[in-house]
């Protein structure tokens, strides 16, 4: 998200991180510094290393050596994510994909999802696929979809009019 052209739109919410040993914020949502977030994020170890690490303290110490704000930023990214992945039940899987490995990325609690399903059924709403650039997912998962039609943040056309689709 920090590396995208419209970083101000997609790096939302902006991470509030305290400066080490200071009372001020090193990353302040009131004064976003996307270049600083890019610099800090570029010091993250490869995902393969993050996945294979079994010792929290060792990971923290190694990441801290790269940048003092890298581990707090990584922690914020993980802890501010409200989504989770579930396997698609066989009866709902898409046969055309030719794989049983199909998953849903969910961003609400089962209770909220049930409320949505009831309202959707009553109003005739239906589910569809949404494709988006990878850099947009930080914001989508934390803030939901935003309608950028007709704004400086609109990157593609509106084949079916303004809105989110």
Span 94-147, pLDDT tens digits: 888 888 888 877 777 778 888 988 998 899 887 666 667 777 777 777 777 777
Q: What angle do CA 56, 141, 91 make, to 5 degrees?
A: 100
Span 8-59, pLDDT tens digits: 666 778 889 998 888 889 999 999 998 898 899 899 988 888 888 888 898 8
Span 43-101, pLDDT tens digits: 998 888 888 888 889 889 988 999 999 999 988 888 887 777 788 888 888 888 888 88
- State the DSSP code for 11: S
Q: Is the pLDDT of residue 5 over 60?
A: no
Can you tell me the distance from the alpha carbon of 86 to that of 142, in angstroms, rounded to the nearest whole number?
18
Q: Is the pLDDT of residue 6 over 80?
A: no
Nearest to 2 by CA among 27, 28, 38: 38
Can you tell me the distance from the alpha carbon of 16 to that of 13, in angstroms, rounded to the nearest whole number?
9
């Amino acid at each position: 998200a920090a590396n995208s052209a419209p970083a101000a739109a997609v790096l939302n919410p902006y991470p509030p991180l305290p400066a080490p040993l200071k009372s001020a914020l090193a990353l302040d949502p009131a004064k976003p510094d996307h270049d600083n977030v890019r610099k800090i994020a570029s010091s993250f170890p490869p995902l393969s290393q993050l996945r294979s690490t079994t010792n929290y303290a060792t990971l923290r110490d190694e990441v801290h050596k790269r940048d003092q704000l890298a581990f707090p930023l990584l922690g914020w990214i993980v802890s501010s994510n409200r989504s989770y992945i579930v396997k698609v039940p066989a009866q709902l899987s898409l046969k055309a994909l030719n794989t049983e490995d199909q998953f849903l990325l969910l961003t609400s609690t089962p209770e909220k999802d049930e409320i949505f399903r009831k309202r959707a059924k009553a109003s005739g709403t239906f589910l569809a696929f949404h494709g988006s650039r990878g850099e947009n997912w930080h914001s989508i998962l934390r803030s939901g979809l935003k309608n950028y039609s007709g704004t400086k943040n609109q990157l593609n056309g509106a084949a079916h009019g303004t809105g989110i689709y």
